[in-house]
């Protein structure tokens, strides 16, 4: 059974949330999902869902694009919940020009993760190297991390491999122009990658024109099986094991 290691149920229209929860709970191919928050409001909503649905786990954190008017003071307490498996998603995004403030939030949130013995989920948009620089100069996530929706670069990948950090593949790997991601998928060791839908964003082929949902994790697994010349069930099994190894609180 698969684990969707990164999805945002609180980003879909609220009237559809109950239906997606039901679909996930009834999907016998999905073992778990990690519902990732973008700010403290979605963190609280994510925990309510996780506390009442066994398959759901939560990641809590403030996304670099949403740090305005967000305080991280209550993040520590929110993250104490037993269904919280990671701090995330946190990171750097160069589409906004407040990088210095983003760095401050990133460093502070990694230190909360380290204090709570939690791994972190990294969002690095056009900024793998900037995040790596933060790790090297200021603080490393001591319980590990995953670069979610990894933007392909072999040098950056090699740094992550050397440090036993993970990457995850989302819908982009299914696109025709994903040559660099295919290279990365071929090079990444089998014990260092996860799968995710990032739903409701980045729908994979062949459902690219529809709103993304966790059940689409199968298309990402299928594509990775093709690229790595492995069986579907093999990819499913190793990514589930990898996800449980990184996010230790998943049963």
The contact set with Zn ion (CB under 5 A) reads 198
DSSP per-residue codes, 15-64: HHHHHHHHHHHH-TTEEEEEEE-SSHHHHHHHHHHHHH-TTEEEEE---G
Angle, CA 58 vertex, CA 201 and CA 18 arms, to 5°: 65
Give the whole-angstrom CA distance, residue 147 versus residue 229. 23
Least separation in angstroms between CB 6 and Zn ion:
6
Measured from the CB atom, the residue of 5 and 240 that comes closer to Zn ion is: 5
Measured from the CB atom, the residue of 93 and 198 that comes closer to Zn ion is: 198
Q: In terms of DSSP bridges, do strands 30-36 and 2-7 run parallel, antiparallel, or are they unpaired?
A: parallel
Least separation in angstroms between CB 153 and Zn ion:
19
Other C-beta atoms within 10 Å of 233: how many? 12
Measured from the CB atom, the residue of 162 and 202 that comes closer to Zn ion is: 202
Whole-number CA gyration radius for the chain: 17
Which position has the token pair 């307490």? 77
Least separation in angstroms between CB 231 and Zn ion:
28
Contact 191, 244 (CB under 8 A): no
Angle, CA 31 vertex, CA 39 and CA 215 arms, to 5°: 75
Least separation in angstroms between CB 53 and Zn ion:
19
Least separation in angstroms between CB 237 and Zn ion:
24
Measured from the CB atom, the residue of 59 and 78 that comes closer to Zn ion is: 59
Measured from the CB atom, the residue of 4 and 198 that comes closer to Zn ion is: 198
Q: What is the DSSP letter of 11?
A: G
Least separation in angstroms between CB 28 and Zn ion:
25
Measured from the CB atom, the residue of 64 and 141 that comes closer to Zn ion is: 64
Nearby residues of 125 by Cβ (< 8 Å), 6 or more positions away: 64, 91, 92, 93, 94, 95, 151
Least separation in angstroms between CB 137 and Zn ion:
25
Measured from the CB atom, the residue of 12 and 226 that comes closer to Zn ion is: 12
Give the whole-angstrom CA distance, residue 141 versus residue 165. 9
Q: Which residue is nearest to Zn ion (CB)?
A: 198
């Amino acid at each position: 059974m698969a684990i969707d290691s990164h999805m945002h149920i609180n980003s879909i229209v609220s009237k559809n949330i109950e239906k997606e929860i039901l679909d996930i709970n009834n999907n016998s191919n999905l073992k778990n999902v990690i519902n990732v928050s973008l700010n403290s409001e979605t963190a609280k909503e994510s925990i309510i869902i996780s506390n009442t649905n066994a398959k759901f786990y939560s990641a809590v954190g403030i996304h670099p694009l949403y740090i305005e008017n967000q305080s991280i003071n209550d993040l520590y307490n929110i993250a104490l919940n037993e269904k919280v498996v990671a701090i995330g998603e946190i990171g750097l995004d160069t589409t906004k020009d407040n990088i210095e403030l983003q760095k401050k939030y990133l460093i502070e949130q990694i230190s909360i993760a380290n204090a709570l013995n939690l791994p972190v989920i990294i969002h690095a948009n056009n900024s793998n190297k900037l995040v790596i620089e933060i790790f090297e100069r200021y603080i490393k996530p001591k319980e590990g991390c995953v670069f979610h929706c990894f933007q392909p670069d072999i040098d950056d990948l090699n740094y992550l491999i050397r440090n036993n950090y993970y990457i995850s593949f989302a819908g982009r790997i299914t696109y025709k122009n994903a040559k660099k991601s295919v290279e990365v998928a071929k090079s990444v060791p089998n014990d260092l990658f996860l799968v995710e839908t990032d739903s409701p964003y980045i729908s994979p082929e062949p459902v690219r024109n529809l709103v993304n949902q966790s059940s689409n994790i199968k298309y990402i697994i299928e594509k990775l099986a093709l690229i790595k010349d492995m069986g579907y069930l093999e990819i499913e099994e190793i990514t589930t094991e990898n996800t449980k190894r990184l996010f230790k609180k998943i049963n």
